[in-house]
Amino acid sequence: MQYTNGTWRADTPGAMQNTNFEAFIFSNGTVDACYLDASLGFPCLQGSIPPIGVDARTVSDVQAAVKFAKRFNLRLVIKNTGHDYLGRSAGRGAFMLWTHYLKEMTYDASFTPLGASSENSHSTFKAVTFGAGIQWAEAYAFVQEHNQTVVGGISLGGSVGAAGGWVMGGGHSAMSPSLGLGIDNVLQFSVVLSDGS
What is the C-alpha separation between 159 and 173, in angstroms, rounded? 15
Confidence category of residue 193, pLDDT binned at 50, 70, 90: confident
Tens digits of per-residue pLDDT, 12-24? 999 999 999 999 9
Tens digits of per-residue pLDDT, 63-118? 999 999 999 999 999 999 999 888 899 999 999 999 999 999 999 999 988 877 66
Q: How far is CA 1 from CA 19, 29, 46, in A?
A: 15, 30, 21
Would you call 149 exposed, middle or buried from its count of C-beta atoms within 10 A (0-12, 13-18, 19+)?
Answer: exposed
